[in-house]
Amino acid sequence: MSIEQIMRTSAVIPVLVIDDAATARPLAEALVAGGLKVLEVTLRTPAALDAIREMKKVPGAIVGAGTVVNPEQFAAAMDAGAEFIVSPGLTERLAQPIIASGVPFLPGIANAADIMLGLDLGLAHFKFFPAEANGGLKALKALAAPFYQCRFCPTGGITEASAPEWLGFVPVLCVGGSWVTPKGASMAEVEALARAASELRA
């Protein structure tokens, strides 16, 4: 799968922070049952790599690693079976081994210089991060105009209420967000939130 195909799979990529790998598989089952197949497990917790391994057992799930900020984390994510890589920003040191591997890569950008570095590296698909704090849809529209060939996954501060407006902007293929998995939610609640999120694309 290409990063574009992954971005077009579901309207929302749930950004997951998993503290206990034992919860990972039921969580992935609930998200996939609700229609969200693309799952981003952030490497922010010690359980994240085992969570990726567990989630990959769920039929239909496309499991990637998020918060990947250096080549060492990229290698660990590959070892765990991650199918795509998301990072909050873009450096050559991180991008080079990922691009060389051919694994779908969604690096974060926040300004024109970041996008130009990505274009130099042959990339055209970016996470716009942090989306709301960095000026919201207005800022992305201004940035996307000169970089008409680029496609985006805004992430950071997006909610079920604000997602449709972002998704209505053509260069936005999907949005990322953590609202689908609120702390303490039951798996039935997560499935319902996932279903609502999966139906957001007009």
Ligand X SMILES: O=C(O)C(=O)C[C@H](O)[C@H](O)COP(=O)(O)O
Q: Report d(CA 87, CA 69) in Å as an integer.
A: 6
Q: What is the x/- site pattern for ligand X, positions 109-148, by CB under 6 A?
A: --------------------x-------------------
The reply to whether 92 belongs to the active site is: no
- Among positions 66, 104, 107, 171, the unique one binding ligand X when judged by CB under 6 A: 66
Question: How many CB atoms are located within 10 Å of the residue 60 CB?
Answer: 11
The interface with ligand X within residues 157-196 (CB under 6 A) comprises 157-158, 176-178
Identity (one letter) of the amino acid at 148?
Y
Using the CB atoms, write b or e for 115-129: b if 16+ within 10 Å: bebbeebebebbbbb
Rounded to the nearest whole angstrom, what is the least distance from the CB of residue 59 to ligand X in the complex? 26
Size of the site for ligand X (CB under 6 A): 14
Rounded to the nearest whole angstrom, what is the least distance from the CB of residue 199 to ligand X in the complex? 18
Rounded to the nearest whole angstrom, what is the least distance from the CB of residue 62 to ligand X in the complex? 17
Residues 179 and 159: beta-carbon distance below 8 Å: yes
Q: Which residues are catalytic?
A: 40, 127
